Amino acid sequence: MIGIDGCLERIMDIPGARSVTLVDGASGLAVAGAGRHEPVDQHEDAATTTDVVRAVLGCPALATGADDDDITEIIVYGSGGYHLIDLVRGDFDGRLFVHALFDEGSGNLAMARYRLRGILAELTGDDHGPEPEAGGGPEPAEPAGGGRGTEPGRSSHGVEPAEGGYGN
């Protein structure tokens, strides 16, 4: 297992990484950050990405319909780069997520996703990281708590959807 500082350093070593913020999704506060947080600092980054996570988790249109479905990752792709938001699995009451920003020109989306999952698996001590299985492909990570949540309007990640849900 690696610590938070080691985790952030390793994420910043992924080619194209510009910044990374570890966020407490229950409060919307930054736990830690690294890199160049431009044009917003890590605290504004944490607050605004918490709003994005809550909106996505509260949007029934983004569910696949399976009871055990859970959103574990959000990707926002722009003309100059991409944002990876990964809801951290593990024994954190499902409240933490990582927001990493990558440069399009020097980054690789597939490799960034793969490496980010592996680093976060080390942080959480989760043995379901992206290790190759006998078939050759990466093993899918299992969501903590399994499912979209046990209570209506609440995901198993502990991040509450925005009041009234999405579009209500």
Q: Which domains does the chain have, with CATH numbers?
A: 4-124 (3.30.450.30)
Using alpha carbons, select from 79, 116, 89, 114 the residue that is nearest to residue 100: 116
Alpha carbon 151 to its chain centroid, in Å, reads 21
3-state secondary structure 60-116: HHHCCCCCCCCCCEEEEECCCEEEEEEECCCCCCCCEEEEEEEECCCCCHHHHHHHH
User: What pLDDT shows up at residue 139?
Assistant: 47
pLDDT per residue as tens digits for the range 42-89 = 899 999 999 999 999 888 888 777 777 788 899 999 998 999 999 987
pTM: 0.73
